[in-house]
Chain A
Amino acid sequence: MSDSMLTVSMRINGSDTEPADLPEDLMLLEYLQEYLNLTGTRYGCGQGVCRACAVIHDGANGPEVIAACITGVAWANGRSFRTIEGHASRDIEGNVTQLTAVQQAFLDHFSFQCSYCTPGFVAAATALVERLEAAPVARDAVEETVLNALNPNICRCTGYVRYLEATRDVILSTPGLTTEEVAERDAQP
């Protein structure tokens, strides 16, 4: 751990964090867990490979998934992220009132057992859905698109199929994410 400190502030789940003096080589995941008490983002391999630590970075290129375990606060400084705690709607006391479509679909499809990988899958599927809002794909390309988006995430319990099916169902049942949907909607008088 470096002795050098860095003053860091970023936007997490829509709120700006208080500027904090952090070791300059601190990783984003440790900042989330140890400094902000946002413990939902998981530590898996620590090498950016398993994607249990995936969070959404809202940058200039739109939402993209990054591995928080290998992304330093030096890069995260001044940027905007969404963690698993920021997806569902909450009431004024912080209680969850409404899950997102992706989260609900994962529950409905029994997509996970131990759930360790789930925050990463929620991030990957949500970022995909949001990218499709801006750039929809043909319905027959959805299967492949979902596979490509979720392929980096590792799950050791259920074998992926239920995550893939849940994400595919969300995309196919949400207007505007596939091109035929766009065509049908535009065709209505």
Chain B
Amino acid sequence: MRRALVILAATLASLAVVALVVYLVFTGPGDIPAPSRDLATLTPEAHAELVQAGEYVARAGDCVACHKSPDGLSLAGGTPMETPFGTIYGSNITPSPSHGIAGYSADDLYRVMVYGIAPDGRRLYPAMPYTSYHAISRADNDALWVWLMAQEPVARANRPAELIFPFNLRPLLAFWNLIYRPAPPDQPNSGLTAADEDPLERGRYLVEVLGHCSECHTPRNLAYARQSDAHLQGYVIEDALAPDITPAALARRGWTAGDLARFLSEGLAPQGVMTFRMFPVLSHSTKYMTPEDITAVAAYLMQNAPAASPPLPRLEAITENPEGHQLYLGLCAGCHGAEGEGQPFGSVPLRSNTSAMFDNPLNLVRIIREGIPARHLTGFQRMQEMPAFDDRLEDAELTALVNYLRQRWGGHADELSLEAVRDIQE
């Protein structure tokens, strides 16, 4: 017995030593390539050029989505991100000496963007999408750094993450990184600051690296890392479905590259309007992208996609589900039209909308219950407020209506049960 205890203690001790060695030797940052140019001796013209280029990198990377403050300051930090382990708040990335990143060098920014490690050695939570940003080009990183350092500093303290044990132990992230943090590619993309990129490769870089689309659209495993075998296949995150955006799934919901380009630049397409966390993506990022880049993103997402084959409307739904039909005519058709045709600048067409097509009814149910605020999209494009209907519909009525929409325009023949609809939390 005593002997067994000694062996156990020795095993645990050697495991601890191994873990320490692994932590110290293998989990630090990897190589940091040389700066793309001498950033210390920029002429005013070169500096101004880099500020402009860096702003575009920041737009494409959508830094503001997570780093803006609740009172609307772009980079001052504080936007909450809900995870199953607790809430993480975007940090202050203004060049504030006391609370921001004034002390960062361009190398420091690269280490954070690519390896998720701050200058003081602190590991960032992977809510900061460094596993996507890891392939950023050094030139883009440097332009981003110049732009960040040219912003107004805001002395606003960071809000600490509120995570449950053991996820609140940052050193453990070193081991997560060991498994799930990819090394930067040997041949990084030349980046947005280079103009000679093949459009498809540029689209890939925008989607996979800077746009970090897969951070929401790819399912996560038990360690909350993205599942590489289910890339972009859709995931429920922050109480909304970020749908499957693989080429085949997009085509099944009727998307073409042209529709997708319009959606990303204007926030609106026959398939719907930017909703939930995609609306900030439009507001801070995609609407600022050049038409060429939008086209590249759409082309990459629709690469080798089959022809669009959206579900055909099923008129049988009217006779199969008379309660849903009456509720639709009584509460929805006034704006969305009896045939689901919608109104320009008012309400989206439902006959081509994708919300009813998803297997998961989460987004559809939430939109009916909670409504959608009036949206100023791009330019003069806008949509009226959709009222919330949670106080007008009993659970059974909501179920009938949801089923009707899914059956008539969503390509679903089956029926969701009352429980399935009711159990979707608001």
A positions within 8 Å CB-CB of B: 1-2, 6, 24-25, 27, 47-49, 61, 64, 67, 69-77
Query: In the complex, which residues of chain A have a beta carbon less than 8 angstroms from the beta carbon of B343?
Result: 47
User: How many whole Å from B370's CB to the nearest CB in chain A?
Assistant: 16
Complex Cα–Cα for A20 and B17 (A): 85
Interface class of chain A by DSSP: loop
Cβ of B158 < 8 Å from any Cβ of A?
Answer: no
- B384, A25: Cβ atoms under 8 Å? no
- A25, B333: Cβ atoms under 8 Å? yes
Complex Cα–Cα for A74 and B330 (A): 5
User: Which 3 residue pairs across A and B have the least CB separation, nearest first?
Assistant: A75-B330, A70-B334, A74-B329
Complex Cα–Cα for A27 and B330 (A): 8
- B338, A76: Cβ atoms under 8 Å? no
User: How many whole Å from A28's CB to the nearest CB in chain B?
Assistant: 9
Complex Cα–Cα for A71 and B156 (A): 47
Cβ of B326 < 8 Å from any Cβ of A?
Answer: yes
Query: In the complex, which residues of chain A have a beta carbon less than 8 angstroms from the beta carbon of B384?
Result: 47-49
Chain B interface category by residue count? 10 to 19
User: How many whole Å from B95's CB to the nearest CB in chain A?
Assistant: 40
Complex Cα–Cα for A175 and B410 (A): 53
Chain A's closest residue to B333 (CB) is A25
Chain A's closest residue to B346 (CB) is A47
Q: Which of B69-100 contact A (CB under 8 A)?
A: none
Query: In the complex, which residues of chain B have a beta carbon less than 8 angstroms from the beta carbon of A61?
Result: 391
Cβ of B246 < 8 Å from any Cβ of A?
Answer: no
> Assuming the A-B contacts A47-B346, A61-B391, are A72 and B334 also in contact, with contact meaning beta carbons closer than 8 angstroms in the complex?
yes
Cβ of B124 < 8 Å from any Cβ of A?
Answer: no
Query: In the complex, which residues of chain B have a beta carbon less than 8 angstroms from the beta carbon of A25?
Result: 329, 333, 338
Query: In the complex, which residues of chain B have a beta carbon less than 8 angstroms from the beta carbon of A70?
Result: 334-335
- B329, A72: Cβ atoms under 8 Å? yes
- B333, A72: Cβ atoms under 8 Å? yes
Cβ of B385 < 8 Å from any Cβ of A?
Answer: yes
Complex Cα–Cα for A49 and B330 (A): 17
Cβ of B312 < 8 Å from any Cβ of A?
Answer: no
Chain B's closest residue to A76 (CB) is B330
Query: In the complex, which residues of chain A have a beta carbon less than 8 angstroms from the beta carbon of B331?
Result: 71-72, 75
Query: In the complex, which residues of chain A have a beta carbon less than 8 angstroms from the beta carbon of B335?
Result: 47-48, 70
- B334, A71: Cβ atoms under 8 Å? yes
Cβ of B327 < 8 Å from any Cβ of A?
Answer: yes
Query: In the complex, which residues of chain B have a beta carbon less than 8 angstroms from the beta carbon of A72?
Result: 329-331, 333-334
Complex Cα–Cα for A171 and B385 (A): 29
Query: In the complex, which residues of chain A have a beta carbon less than 8 angstroms from the beta carbon of B334?
Result: 27, 48, 67, 69-72
Query: In the complex, which residues of chain A have a beta carbon less than 8 angstroms from the beta carbon of B347?
Result: 47
Complex Cα–Cα for A2 and B330 (A): 13
- Out of A2, A47, A69, A74, name the residue touching B326 (CB < 8 Å): A74
User: How many whole Å from A31's CB to the nearest CB in chain B?
Assistant: 12
User: How many whole Å from B99's CB to the nearest CB in chain A?
Assistant: 35
Complex Cα–Cα for A76 and B327 (A): 10
Per-position binary interface string of chain B over residues 289-333, scored 1 when its CB falls under 8 Å from any chain A CB and 0 otherwise: 000000000000000000000000000000000000011011101
Q: Which of B367-406 contact A (CB under 8 A)?
A: 374, 384-385, 387, 391
